[in-house]
Structure 1
Amino acid sequence: MVSISPPQPKEAPYSEKSGENRRVREAKWWYSTFHTVTAMIGAGVLSLPYAMAYLGWGPGTLVMAFSWCITLNTMRQLIQLHECVPGVRFDRYYDLGRHAFGQRLGKWIVLPQQLIVQVGCNVVYLVTGGKCLKKFMEIACNNCTPIKQSYWIAIFGSIHFFLSQMPDINSISGVSLAAAIMSLSYSTIAWVGSLSRGRVPNVSYEYKKTSNADYMFRVFNALGQITTAFAGHAVVLEIQSTIPSAPEKPSSIPMWRGAVWAYFVNAICYFPVALVGYWAFGQDVEDNVLVALEKPAWLIAAANLMVFVHVIGSYQIYAMPFFEVVEKTVVARFKVTHGLGLRLFVRSTYVALTSFVAVTFPFFGDLLGLFGGFGFASTTYILPCVIWLKIKKPRRFSLSWTFNWGCIFFGVFIMFTSTIGGVRNVVVDSSTYDFYS
């Protein structure tokens, strides 16, 4: 008797005539852990105590816990929807969107917002990497000739001309693992250093003194800082696509296991930094808690170097899905061969363009607050719930239906507050900025 193995789930087609090769799926569950950690945790964790200073103990802690729970659930929903059609895998966020909303509408609903997150994060990582490398060198070499920040950003960008030539997310697993370890390391330095230093004299936990209008904008900004710190959903399906799947063991099982561990790492990074940093410095905390620590200098230098290593991996995690989309679009539309030449051209051009934007607008973090309010809030809080309601169709007023609609309204609120705060910050920062300084 001949045994017939069950068919393996196939990938949702990129296009009718894409001609793409089937992707390699060899990742283990722990790959998804450090890929998700690298995508989610950023240097923004160091600004969480500053956000707490505008929200206070109760509201700040509540918003953090609420965001952690909501985003864990929306990530679970995306993981479950990856293979919501038997025998088909939606390996890209917008593939799932096209299934939910239709081929044409789904692409335009999801893809622009996903690209805002991916490209925007890459520019911010370039700025962050350049700044941290500059800070490290200033501490490590007091007698060295100062170099403009724009040069440091360019140096950081040059690294990605080489790393971006790696084929896919699987091939940068080592870089991603190092980045995840670094994120845990500098977060630990931040909260352990704050705890060791103890509370500053006359520490105050009252709300910061400022005008009513300024305080409102800063509260909006603080809400955006905390809620968008749990982003990473824009690439979760692309990460899951690297995991093998079979009818008896779908990819959602190892992916969810990895995601839970990633959120555990997220919790032990975010909550201690936010709470201990605010406990130590109160309303006088700096927007980067490492700056408030001041010494020992070698530890601050090491932490900046760790952030530098981390954002190297983060850049690649967000860039790889973008490379895949662009390259396969070029192959399908212009009938060119998907080889080394195309990879060199597409990826080098992307790195050059994002580096140019980062050098030109190093206050791009404010621009990301302006545009990212749409991308981050939508891809993390809104779209997963809307797609879940569209595909799963839970009974009206059931727990699932109510919870998802609550998440949608919360996401819309965050979208508007982040955008308002971003507009204000762009106006303030751009008026005092000296280009290419």
Structure 2
Amino acid sequence: MVSSSIPPSKEVSYEEEWQKEGPPRRAKWWYSTFHCVTAMVGAGVLSLPYAMAYLGWGPGTVVLILSWCMTLYTIWQMIQLHECVPGTRFDRYYELSRHAFGPKLGPWIVLPQQLIVQVGCDIVYMVTGGKCLKKFMEIACTNCTRIRQSYWICIFGSLHFLLSQLPNFNSVAGVSLAAAVMSLSYSTISWVGCLMRKPIPNVSYAYKDTNPGDYMFRVFNALGQISFAFAGHAVVLEIQATIPSTPEKPSRIPMWRGAVLAYFITAICYFPTALIGYYTFGQDVQDNLLIALRQPEWLIASANLMVVIHVIGSYQVYAMPVFDILEKTIVKQFDFPPGLPLRLVVRSIYVALTLFVGVTFPFFGDLLGFFGGFGFAPTSFFLPCIMWLAIKKPKRFSFSWLMNWACIFLGTFIMFASTIGGLRNIIIDSSTYQFYS
């Protein structure tokens, strides 16, 4: 896949892009910043205080800092591996995996995990968008008739039947930029609102009061919630693929610059929200911090609307690679012509399926934990390390070798623990939930 750059003045149709080997490469370095921020700083930030309530001050802070450092290291690895073969760009996660593990095994190692991350994010964002839209309307219009939460999720989901027809990453740049600004804004509002509120009466920072068995599974789920907060790796190669590259100016330089800025913004969003939110509510914090905050009403209503705008963009950032995979597969396997009819059918079906699952299982915290462990821990914490070892082959017991194996062991533990915890909690909560209520 040879690097190429398309002059901005040249208009390229959607059908012509299908004939090329890669996506259009016209993005600037700051595009990667707001795409990465949109991909990472999502609904998961609002559940970080809830995860802290199960982990406690010490372990919770350590896990949060460790996750931030580990995923910054693994995103650096993926950026470096994007052009690890001269003259070739691995524009998708599964293409890099094919190079690392072979043409048969490679796609099966990464592609299912990547799809779990992307589809899982879109399901969670359906739930988040509907819940925050409901909260916004309840605050903004106190005399309005209350309608079911499932209806609000459907209202939010209906927007994506239209937005999903945008052809590619470049076409959603404006939506993604707005989403990145919103994520920084509502994260700031959430922890500033906590500071203004001050700790609740008789606040307790003891571990949540529950039986030992349930507590263990809830701790596992908390690890998954933190994993969910570092989800940008599933789309980082697709983001880098939109940046032009030459031997003199390889794409890894502007992409890394954008990723570092994105991680700085991520830290500004995550750490104050997690620590101040837990400081304010203690063990009584809810799994969505904005739902717990009520004063001042106009500010909390604005924050909920910002979340809605943000997850609109985040949904599209995660959906675009899925659309690309589905449409290219149909074109190659069934000789279906690319264009608007294909987009209309495939993308509408995808939106409808994610909407159906989101309405059926609107368990925000449990979904974060399950998808965080099952899909996000592998793609963000240890699969990049395994591919680095396979491709770069660092010397045994060197710093790089030890660092990668440490990430692999920690990431594997988080994957199994949080998957078990999240699945168990979904089953428990489903037993007492009235569906479509």
With the shorter chain as reference, the TM-score category is: over 0.9
Give the structure 2 partner of residue 366 of structure 1. 366
SS of the aligned residue for 1:230 comes to: coil
Say whether the 8 Å CA contact 1:10–1:89 is kept in structure 2: no
CA distance in 2, matches of 1:375, 1:44: 14
- Which residue identity is paired with 1:9? S
Say whether the 8 Å CA contact 1:9–1:86 is kept in structure 2: no
CA distance in 2, matches of 1:371, 1:36: 19
Higher mean C-alpha deviation, range 211-220 or range 391-400: 211-220
SS of the aligned residue for 1:244 comes to: coil
- Which residue identity is paired with 1:281? F
Give the structure 2 partner of residue 226 of structure 1. 226
Aligned length: 425
- Which residue identity is paired with 1:159? L
Give the structure 1 partner of residue 11 of structure 2. none
SS of the aligned residue for 2:104 comes to: helix
- Is 2:289 aligned against 1:295? no
Give the structure 2 partner of residue 135 of structure 1. 135
- How much is the aligned-residue C-alpha RMSD, in angstroms? 1.7
Question: Shift of the alpha carbon at 1:21?
Answer: 5.6
Say whether the 8 Å CA contact 1:9–1:246 is kept in structure 2: yes
Which runs of structure 2 are paired with 1:231-310 in the superposition (5 Å)? 231-310=231-310
Task: Find the partner of 1:9 among 3, 16, 40.
Answer: 3
Give the structure 2 partner of residue 170 of structure 1. 170
Give the structure 1 partner of residue 109 of structure 2. 109
Question: Shift of the alpha carbon at 1:10?
Answer: 6.1
CA distance in 1, matches of 2:362, 2:201: 34
- Which residue identity is paired with 2:182? M
Question: Shift of the alpha carbon at 1:329?
Answer: 1.1
Question: Shift of the alpha carbon at 1:374?
Answer: 2.4
TM-score normalised according to structure 2 size: 0.94
CA distance in 1, matches of 2:280, 2:68: 23
SS of the aligned residue for 1:103 comes to: coil
Give the structure 2 partner of residue 58 of structure 1. 58
Question: Shift of the alpha carbon at 1:364?
Answer: 6.8
CA distance in 2, matches of 1:31, 1:424: 39
CA offsets per residue over residues 80-131 of structure 1, 9 Å max, x none? 0000000000000000000111111101111001000111111111111111
- Is 2:316 aligned against 1:316? yes
TM-score normalised according to structure 1 size: 0.94
CA offsets per residue over residues 257-278 of structure 1, 9 Å max, x none? 0000000010000000111112
Give the structure 1 partner of residue 331 of structure 2. 331
Say whether the 8 Å CA contact 2:224–2:371 is kept in structure 1: no
SS of the aligned residue for 2:229 comes to: helix
Change in CA separation of 1:67 and 1:362 when aligned onto 2, cut-off 3 Å: same
Give the structure 2 partner of residue 4 of structure 1. none
- Is 2:401 aligned against 1:413? no
- Which residue identity is paired with 1:334? F
Give the structure 1 partner of residue 76 of structure 2. 76
CA offsets per residue over residues 381-426 of structure 1, 9 Å max, x none? 1210000000000000000000000000001100111112112211
Higher mean C-alpha deviation, range 275-284 or range 295-304: 275-284
CA distance in 2, matches of 1:291, 1:108: 39
Say whether the 8 Å CA contact 1:118–1:322 is kept in structure 2: yes
CA distance in 1, matches of 2:292, 2:346: 41
Say whether the 8 Å CA contact 1:204–1:282 is kept in structure 2: yes
CA distance in 2, matches of 1:291, 1:125: 16
Say whether the 8 Å CA contact 1:93–1:237 is kept in structure 2: yes
Q: Give the unaligned 5+ runs of structure 2.
A: 6-17
CA offsets per residue over residues 44-101 of structure 1, 9 Å max, x none? 2112112112212111111111000000000000000000000000000000000111
Question: Shift of the alpha carbon at 1:8?
Answer: 5.8
Say whether the 8 Å CA contact 1:8–1:246 is kept in structure 2: no
Say whether the 8 Å CA contact 2:37–2:262 is kept in structure 1: yes
Which runs of structure 2 are paired with 1:345-356 in the superposition (5 Å)? 345-356=345-356
CA distance in 1, matches of 2:207, 2:385: 34
CA offsets per residue over residues 240-293 of structure 1, 9 Å max, x none? 001000100100001000000000010000000111112222223232222333
Moved over 4 A (4+): 18-22
- Which residue identity is paired with 1:325? I
SS of the aligned residue for 1:314 comes to: helix
CA distance in 2, matches of 1:293, 1:347: 36
CA distance in 2, matches of 1:419, 1:308: 27
- Which residue identity is paired with 2:265? V
- Which residue identity is paired with 1:332? K
Change in CA separation of 1:418 and 1:89 when aligned onto 2, cut-off 3 Å: same
Higher mean C-alpha deviation, range 45-54 or range 163-172: 45-54
Change in CA separation of 1:150 and 1:208 when aligned onto 2, cut-off 3 Å: closer
Change in CA separation of 1:422 and 1:188 when aligned onto 2, cut-off 3 Å: same
* Percent identity of paired positions between Structure 1 and Structure 2: 73
CA distance in 2, matches of 1:246, 1:20: 18
CA distance in 2, matches of 1:269, 1:57: 18
Say whether the 8 Å CA contact 1:20–1:328 is kept in structure 2: no
Say whether the 8 Å CA contact 2:197–2:295 is kept in structure 1: no
Give the structure 2 partner of residue 381 of structure 1. 381
- Which residue identity is paired with 1:218? R
- Which residue identity is paired with 1:370? F
CA distance in 2, matches of 1:287, 1:49: 8
